[in-house]
Amino acid sequence: MDSRTPDIQTAGARYYYPENKILEPVWRDPPPPLQPWWRKSMALIIPLAVLALAALCLWFFWWGPTRNLKHATVLVMVDRDGNGEINRGDGQGTGVIISSQGSPGYVLTCRHVLMKPAESQCGYVEIWYRPGTPRLERIKKVDLEAAGEPHPGPDTPLGRDWAVLKFTRPGRLPHVKNSPRKDFNEEKKIKATGFPKGWDMATNEFGPAVKVLHGRLTRVDRNEQGAPIRLTHDADLAGGMSGGPLVMGGKIVGLNAQIRGVEAMQENYALPTYLLQETIFDRYQK
């Protein structure tokens, strides 16, 4: 028993001790209600959802299309010696897969990559799919499906400098669709892919790796009716990139055909691919 109990004096609602200390009633707030489990989970779920959405947007708008473009860009190897074999010194160029299926599949490239201006047939051709990586596939069953008309001059005119290769490979393929756009303006951003200098830039036995270059349109040449017939851009192309795609907005807008150096300035000419819509893409892009 508390020894102080007998000495407590009561006066109203207060309690007095001999030491004249007053004990007031102590009021405490009730404990906060328990939070639902889902509120605590939301603090973790919302940041994770934001990160997942950001990663999805990054894939959809940048990494995914760039990866698809790289895989759809192929190395075109042409037997120049006529011995039916491919060597490092043979003709090399770039092509782009335009069909989603490989039975058959189709590759768009430049005519001058395959043959001389006056010729109508090319020699033995191989398509190297995903070169520069251990996943390289050398597609050897390749045929010339269509090409621009022969020309007697030393150079193939830009409007005729196209060709379509047909090959067989099971399964689906990465491919790039054509853009029918004609409203080209200077300073528009573009991408160009290919294999600059071909085998000279290879660092392993699987061949050269594809290169992605960025640039802008610098000039749009038009015919008398005002339709674009030649695109000039400033991406830093090099030999071996002929036949590669010029891409805008994830779709092909041009076929890189000529690389011309004018004094200290380099000009790259591309054939607008809307001109090939009926001839090629309506027939072969499936």
Residue ranges per domain, the chain?
A: 70-284
pLDDT for the residue 4: 47
Alpha carbon distance, N-terminus to C-terminus of the chain:
97
Residue that is written with structure tokens 């030491």 in the block: 19
Decide if 165 contacts 127 (C-beta within 8 A).
yes
Q: Is 108 exposed, middle or buried (0-12, 13-18, 19+ CB in 10 A)?
A: buried
Decide if 159 contacts 254 (C-beta within 8 A).
no
Residue that is written with structure tokens 């303006």 in the block: 185
Structure tokens at 278: 């009926």
pLDDT for the residue 245: 96
* Residue ranges in the chain whose pLDDT is less than 50: 1-11
DSSP state letter for 9: E
Domain 70-284 has CATH 2.40.10.120: yes
Decide if 274 contacts 182 (C-beta within 8 A).
yes
Q: How far is CA 181 from CA 249, 253, 269, in A?
A: 11, 7, 17
Residue that is written with structure tokens 């092509």 in the block: 95
Strand order in the sheet with 137-139: 137-139, 125-129, 73-78, 91-97, 105-109, 163-167, 142-147
Query: Taking Cα atoms as reference points, which of 201, 114, 198 lies closest to residue 163?
Result: 114
d(CA 108, CA 195): 15
Overall size of the chain counted in residues: 286
Decide if 169 contacts 139 (C-beta within 8 A).
yes
* Per-residue pLDDT tens digits for 106-161: 999 999 999 989 888 888 999 999 999 999 999 998 999 999 998 887 788 899 99
User: What is 64-109 written as a DSSP string?
Assistant: HHHHHHHHHEEEEEE-SSSSS---TTSEEEEEEE--SBSTTEEEEE
pLDDT for the residue 151: 85
Predicted model pTM: 0.77
* Per-residue pLDDT tens digits for 199-219: 888 899 999 999 999 999 999
d(CA 213, CA 208): 15
Q: Is 172 exposed, middle or buried (0-12, 13-18, 19+ CB in 10 A)?
A: exposed
pLDDT for the residue 275: 95
Query: Taking Cα atoms as reference points, which of 66, 87, 113 lies closest to residue 259?
Result: 113
pLDDT for the residue 124: 92
